Amino acid sequence: MAVPRFWREIPSRYNLIGTRCGNCNQVHFPPRYLCPNCRRVGKLEPYKLKPRGKVISYTVVHVAAEGFEDQVPYVLAIVELEDGPRITAQVTDCGPDEVRIGDEVEIVFRRMGQEGEEGVLYYGYKCKKVS
């Protein structure tokens, strides 16, 4: 990933900054430029989503994407945040058999990857089961 592309998304990746439509109150994540319901009359503003949600579905990854090879088997989940939007995120600090549909999770700040040994480090959100 190019550095500027990652840098542009830092507010969303670090702090779950999405958008909310001032017209219909729908919350979007990632942020949108246009409200899908209200179109031209929509009034989008930045909105910080609450860092809590529950697992809607999950899978255990055994053949990892590049950069995640040393973490297999790991859990990747679809999480519905309290504010409504669903995100795909890794469930960290847990074994492959520790996650169930409906589990409460919180958003944590973790290292997501790096551009090789010399490039930048990427940070962002993952989920962790609420203990």
Partner 1 sequence: MNVGIVGYGVYIPRYRIKVEEIAKIWGEDPERIKRGLMVEEKSVPAPDEDTATIAVEAARNAVKRAGIDPQEIGAIYVGSESHPYAVKPTATIVAEAIEATPRLTAADFEFACKAGTAGIQTCIGAVEAGMMKYGMAIGADTAQGAPGDPLEYTAAAGGGAFIVGKNNGESLAMVEGTYSYTTDTPDFWRREMRPYPKHGGRFTGKPAYFKHVISAAHGLLRQLKFTPQDFTYAVFHQPNGKFPLQAAAELGFSKEQVLPGLLTPKIGNTYSGASLIGLASVLDQARPGDRVLVVSFGSGAGSDAFSMVVKDAIEEKRDRAPKVVDYVNTKAYVDYSTYAKYRKLLVR
**Closest distance of CB 39 from partner 1, Å:** 30
Compare residues 102 and 131 and give the one whose CB is closer to partner 1. Answer: 131
Is 92 a binder of partner 1 (CB under 8 A)? yes
Residue 44-83 contact track with partner 1, rule CB under 8 A, x = bound = -------------------------xxx------------
For the purposes of burial, counting CB atoms within 10 Å of the CB of 95, is it exposed (0-12), middle (13-18) or buried (19 or more)? Answer: exposed
Measuring CA to CA, which residue among 80, 83, 129 is closest to residue 104? 129
Q: Which of 1, 8, 14, 56 binds partner 1 (CB under 8 A)?
A: 14
Instruction: Please count the helices (runs of H) and the strands (runs of E) in the chain.
Output: 2, 8
Sign (positive or negative) of CA dihedral 60, 62, 65, 70: positive
Q: CB 104 → partner 1: shortest distance, Å?
A: 15
Give the interface size with partner 1 as a residue count (CB under 8 A).
17
